[in-house]
Structure 1
Amino acid sequence: MGIDVVRAWPRRHEAVHLELPEGATVGDAVSASGFSTDGVTALAVFGERVEPGHRLRDGDRVELLRPLEIDPKDARRRRARPK
């Protein structure tokens, strides 16, 4: 089955497409991707947080998540302030 693994930072990203056997887990995909997990605080499939043992389906996108730099509510308030 085809799986994409994505690691993103502000203004750049890395992605790799993998062919994994049926029954593969998120942990299997992360290991096979070759990406470092330094700074990764969570894992997600299409934006939904999952555990490493989560079973994947063909076409899933595994995302390596890093900590938020700013609370999204605060960021929106800053953008909405008059200049």
Structure 2
Amino acid sequence: MNIEVAYALEKKQTLLSLEVDEGISLKQAIENSGILVLYPQIDLSKDKTGIFGKIVKLDAILRDKDRVEIYRPLIADPKQVRKERAAQGKKMRSSKKS
């Protein structure tokens, strides 16, 4: 079966296509792809993984045409960033009224 393994940095994305045997796990596919050699900073014990945007565990069994994704840790909490932007917007609106 055919799958893809994807990893994205801020300014560079890598998408590797490979043919694998049925019954392969997500972790085995990542290891077989060679992406861990290309990006030694990937740490499968810490970094989250998924298939087509849905987080799954390393022991998940893949299906034909799955896209395995390795996610980098977030730099900032998206909820906190939205709260800060909302607070800044309120502050700007109130200062314009003065």
Higher strand share: 1
In 2: Cα distance, 1:10 partner to 1:79 partner: 22
1:65 maps to 2:71: yes
C-alpha distance in 1, partners of 2:48/2:8?
A: 13
Higher helix proportion: 2
Tell me, which stretches of 5 or more residues in structure 1 are unaligned? none
Q: State the Cα distance separating 1:47 from its structure 2 match.
A: 1.3
TM-score of the aligned structures, taking structure 2 as reference length: 0.72
Q: Larger Cα Rg: Structure 1 or Structure 2? A: 2
Moved over 6 A (4+): none
Q: Aligned partners of 1:42 and 1:19: how far apart in 2?
A: 23
- Trace 1:2-81 onto structure 2 (pairs within 5 A): 2-36=2-36, 38-40=41-43, 41-77=47-83, 81=88
Aligned-CA RMSD value: 1.8
Question: Normalized against structure 1, the TM-score is what?
Answer: 0.83
Q: When the two structures are aligned, how many residues end up with a matched partner?
A: 83
